[in-house]
Structures are given as C-alpha cells and as structure tokens.
Amino acid sequence: MLGTTIREVRKARGLTMVQLAEQAGVSQGLISQVENGRADPSLETLRRLAEALGVPLFDLFQDGAPSPVNVLRAGSRVSVTTPTGSLTYEKLSPPSATLEVLRGRLEPNDVSSAEPHAHPASECVVVESGAMVVEVAGERIELGAGDSAIYDSRLPHRYLNESGSVAVFLVFASPPSF
C-alpha cells in the first residue's frame, strides 16, 4: 500500500520518478523499488519523500478519501520505527487531521535523528515517562515526566534520551508534517 500511495501522490503532483528522486535526494532506482513494493524505505527516506511530495509522512500510509468526522481506531494505528529500532512513532491522530498527535518511544542513550531537522510547523512535546532533552536551534531543554515544551519546528530540532531508561512522549504538531 505504501508504494502504491507514493506512486499515486507522485503522479497527482505531475512528478516523474527522476524528479521525485532529485527532490528527495535518493536514487530513481529506490523510488521504483519502493513503488513496486520491493524495498522498505528507512524513516529518513520516508521523511524526504513526504517532504518532496508535500504531504505529511503518515499520509503515505493512509488509504481512502477524507471524511467530515475522522476516527482512528486503536487497532488501526500506524507506526514507524528507525532501522536501529531506537525510535518509534505511533500516529494517534486520524487521517487528514489538522493537528497531528504522535506517541514517541526513544530508547536509552539514543537520539531521534543524527542531525537536527526542521519542518514548517509548531510543536508541543509532553514527556509521559522517563526523561529526555529537547534540542532546538542548539539550545538544550531537559524534560522529565509530566514536563512539556512548545517550539517553532522551523528551527532545527531533535530529541535526545541521555538516561538509562526508555522515554515515552507525545508530540502535537500543526500543521501535520510527519
């Protein structure tokens, strides 16, 4: 389904595989393999493809037309995990929502991404359990269970778990971008 959705969005945008590959910074061969279901792209590759296509990342996993009332049943949630398994995001908000809600799980002594990244949105992060550092534009904000922070996600940011236990957190973003 992922490959089919990427192909449909690419074609709806009037992009060739070559153009999408150039915009996303990946090879045309990888685009072809993903669209034909022969490759599972990494989280970083999915982010690049979604950005190049101009859609939130999780929209690539959705099927069907939007409804005036959006519901996402617990058993239908989509999640993505980094190749190392150190970070998992589960989408809690329904498809086509204007506010994106994610539950994140970051393993001990790991980071959400090797380098901070930016995207056009405003984000609020709430730590449910454990502790983590929110790094925004080089500033480090330490958060513990129950703490929250809001920031302009157009600034380079990432999450760090420098503790010995798992950090579980919620991210609220508007507009959706993941």
Residue 28, pLDDT score: 93
Distance in angstroms (rounded) separating the CA atoms of residues 50 and 63 = 15
Q: Answer whether residue 66 shows pLDDT above 70.
A: no
Q: For the segment 10-22, what is each residue's pLDDT rounded down to a tens digit?
A: 898 899 999 999 9
CATH top-level class of 74-174: mainly beta
- Tokens 């859609």 belong to 55
CA distance 118 to 121: 9
For residue 69, what pLDDT is reported?
67
Superfamily covering domain 2-55: lambda repressor-like DNA-binding domains (1.10.260.40)
Assign 63 a pLDDT band (cuts: 50, 70, 90): low
pLDDT score of 13: 87
Per-residue model confidence as pLDDT tens digits over 93-115: 887 778 899 999 999 999 998 89
Domain limits, the chain: 2-55, 74-174
